[in-house]
């Protein structure tokens, strides 16, 4: 999934001029932030099924009801935010933001389906959902950009492709759509909201620099930063299969040994990514859009480092969710505030902004790692 999404982003970078690419990367940041509801539903569903597999049928009932309401609400709110987001992102039309809202409807439904598969450890079904998500974006997004190389066209393709994982996950809902069993809907909503809040803070942190660059830099410099962010996102998302596979084990693990192994795996993958980028900057340049972005070739390793550190924070956030420990959200919002204050009070440009992200992500990962562990509730309710 992540490879397919990355290939689409690279294809878009080659097809779009820097100003349009900057707009698209900012819009993808909006999608990442809006998608936290989907991920919160997925995490809550997976945790409940993992710790109490015998109650699976009673978990799915409230999940479906909550997901239907959440998908409609999130899609509508993001679409309505076009009134604010269009001028903030310096877009020529409100349609790209409205399309982002429409995209979040199927992506939220996908979260419930992925959570059922993940908590049940039905890796084949989860693979089908994830592959459909990545391939759907690659095929429809690339086709749309080929027809018209604009950020708006790209968002049309992304919106259409977002329905592919929903279709792939329909077999998981067989027998539950028409006759859902009753369950603790309020408890599930509380857990999903708590998880979504933590993930919202995380994705605001990991996407904030794209929005700051789009808002503060000149269009060409914002476009260069957006190209660097392609590498950041690659380094961030490539190791996320670790959190997907290990999440049920994290939910059941009292010793926290699984957390140590997961973090070690992510750190190892990140080290390889940063070293490869530093040693082969011209190869990395090809991967982020080609010669038109040559100005940032010698700084691409910084973007890879930022993504790798954010990937470490990502696995620590999911460890907290697996243990039902939502206190991490305070630290995440503190990190967001730090990036904003530094970015708007200091005279920063491209290198300065990515350096701020590196420093904040490093500090956050260290602080979270050494925080005392919170006890996990192994009850499904």
Condensed to tens digits (0 to 9), the pLDDT of residues 180-190 reads: 555 567 888 88
Would you place residue 375 in the very low, low, confident or very high pLDDT band (cuts 50, 70, 90)?
A: very low
For the stretch 34-65, pLDDT in tens is: 898 999 999 999 988 988 888 777 788 889 88
Residue 226 has pLDDT above 90, yes or no: no
Would you place residue 179 in the very low, low, confident or very high pLDDT band (cuts 50, 70, 90)?
A: low
pLDDT computed for residue 286 by the predictor? 81
Residue 219 has pLDDT above 50, yes or no: yes
Residue 223 has pLDDT above 50, yes or no: yes
Q: What percent of the chain has pLDDT over 70?
A: 94
pLDDT computed for residue 148 by the predictor? 95
Predicted TM-score (pTM) of the model is 0.78
SS (H, E, C) the chain: CHHHHHHHHHHHHHHCCHHHHHHHHHHHHHHHHHCHHHHHHHHHHHHHHHHCHHHHHHHHHHHHHHHHHHHHHHHHHHHHCHHHHHHHCCCCCCHHHHHHHHHHHHHHHHHHHHHHHHHCCCHHHHHHHHHHHHHHHHHHHHHHHHHCCCHHHHHHHHHHHCCHHHHHHHHHHCCCCCCCCCCCHHHHHHHHHHHHHHHHHHHHHHHHHHHHHHHHCCHHHHHHHHHHHHHHHHHHHHHHHHHHHHHHHHHHCCCCHHHHHHHHHHHHHHHHHHHHHHHCHHHHHHHHCCHHHHHHHHHHHHHHHHHHHHHHHHHHHHHHHHCCCCCHHHHHHHHHHHHHHHHHHCCCCHHHHHHHHHHHHHHHHHHHHHCCCCCCCCCCC
Would you place residue 132 in the very low, low, confident or very high pLDDT band (cuts 50, 70, 90)?
A: very high
Would you place residue 134 in the very low, low, confident or very high pLDDT band (cuts 50, 70, 90)?
A: very high
Q: Determine the average pLDDT of the residues in 160-183.
A: 81
pLDDT computed for residue 214 by the predictor? 79
For the stretch 57-100, pLDDT in tens is: 778 888 988 999 999 999 999 999 999 999 988 888 999 999 99
Q: Determine the average pLDDT of the residues in 240-267.
A: 85
Q: Determine the average pLDDT of the residues in 255-276.
A: 90
Residue 380 has pLDDT above 50, yes or no: no
pLDDT greater at residue 120 or residue 251: 120
pLDDT computed for residue 184 by the predictor? 62
Residue 311 has pLDDT above 70, yes or no: yes
């Amino acid at each position: 999934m992540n490879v397919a999404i990355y290939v689409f982003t690279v294809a878009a970078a080659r097809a779009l001029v820097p100003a349009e690419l900057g707009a698209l990367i900012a819009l993808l940041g909006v999608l990442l932030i809006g998608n936290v509801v989907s991920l919160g539903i997925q995490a809550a569903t997976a945790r409940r099924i993992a710790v109490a597999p015998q109650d699976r049928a009673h978990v799915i009932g409230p999940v479906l009801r909550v997901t239907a309401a959440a998908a409609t609400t999130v899609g509508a709110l993001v679409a309505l935010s076009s009134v604010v987001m269009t001028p903030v992102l310096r877009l020529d039309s409100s349609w790209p933001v409205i399309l982002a809202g429409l995209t979040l409807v199927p992506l939220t439904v996908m979260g419930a389906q992925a959570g059922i598969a993940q908590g049940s450890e039905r890796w084949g079904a989860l693979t089908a959902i994830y592959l459909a998500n990545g391939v759907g974006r690659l095929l429809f997004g690339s086709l749309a950009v080929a027809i018209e190389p604009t950020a708006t066209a790209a968002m049309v393709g992304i919106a259409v492709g977002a329905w592919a994982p929903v279709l792939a996950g329909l077999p998981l809902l067989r027998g539950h759509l028409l006759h859902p069993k009753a369950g603790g809907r309020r408890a599930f909503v509380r857990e999903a909201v708590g998880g979504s809040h933590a993930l919202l803070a995380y994705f605001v942190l990991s996407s904030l620099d794209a929005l700051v660059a789009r808002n503060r830099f000149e269009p060409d410099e914002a476009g260069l930063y957006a190209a660097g962010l392609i590498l950041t996102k690659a380094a961030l998302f490539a190791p996320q299969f670790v959190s997907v596979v290990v999440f049920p084990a994290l939910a059941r693990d009292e010793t926290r040994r699984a957390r140590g192994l997961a973090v070690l795996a992510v750190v190892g993958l990140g080290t390889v990514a940063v070293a490869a980028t530093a040693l082969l900057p011209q190869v990395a340049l090809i991967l982020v859009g080609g010669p038109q972005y040559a100005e940032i070739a010698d700084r691409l390793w910084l973007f890879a480092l930022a993504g790798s550190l954010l990937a470490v924070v990502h696995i620590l956030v999911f460890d907290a969710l697996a243990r039902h420990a939502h206190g991490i959200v305070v630290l995440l919002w503190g990190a967001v505030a730090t990036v904003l204050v530094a970015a708007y009070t200091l005279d920063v440009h491209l290198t300065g902004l990515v350096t701020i992200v590196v420093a904040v992500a490093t500090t956050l990962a260290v602080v979270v790692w050494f925080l005392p562990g919170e006890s996990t509730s192994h009850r499904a309710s």
